Amino acid sequence: MAVTKERKAELIKQYGKDERDSGSAAVQVALLSERIKGLTEHMKSHKKDYHTRRGLLMLVGQRRRLLSYIKRQDVEAYRSLIKSLGIRDNIQ
């Protein structure tokens, strides 16, 4: 369910400027997407886990805010990021 250190390092290396860039918006969106995938799998088998559902919805909202920020700053970077992560474009 949690993102492992190795997977986190891979995502930072792939989406960050260097291996220590863990704070840029693109890296944060990638890490949130990984956590969201894990929680979504958990929710498939535990349908009545409402505490996890609330946390999942909060993560989705946080990712949405970060994505709207990226879209305001650079539309091309936004499009390439959602394409590489497999996220639908629903930010207005």
Alpha-carbon torsion (48, 54, 61, 56), positive or negative: negative
Please say whether the beta carbons of 52 and 38 come within 8 A: no
Contacts of 54 (CB under 8 A, 6+ apart): none
Alpha-carbon torsion (86, 64, 78, 9), positive or negative: negative
Please say whether the beta carbons of 82 and 41 come within 8 A: no
Query: What number of CA atoms fall less than 13 Å from residue 47's CA on the CB side?
Result: 0
Domains and CATH numbers, the chain: 5-85 (1.10.287.10)
Average pLDDT over residues 13-33: 95
Average pLDDT over residues 20-48: 96
Q: What is the pLDDT of residues 36-62, one digit of tens each?
A: 999 999 999 999 999 999 999 999 999
Furthest C-alpha separation in the chain: 40
Residue 90 has pLDDT above 90, yes or no: no
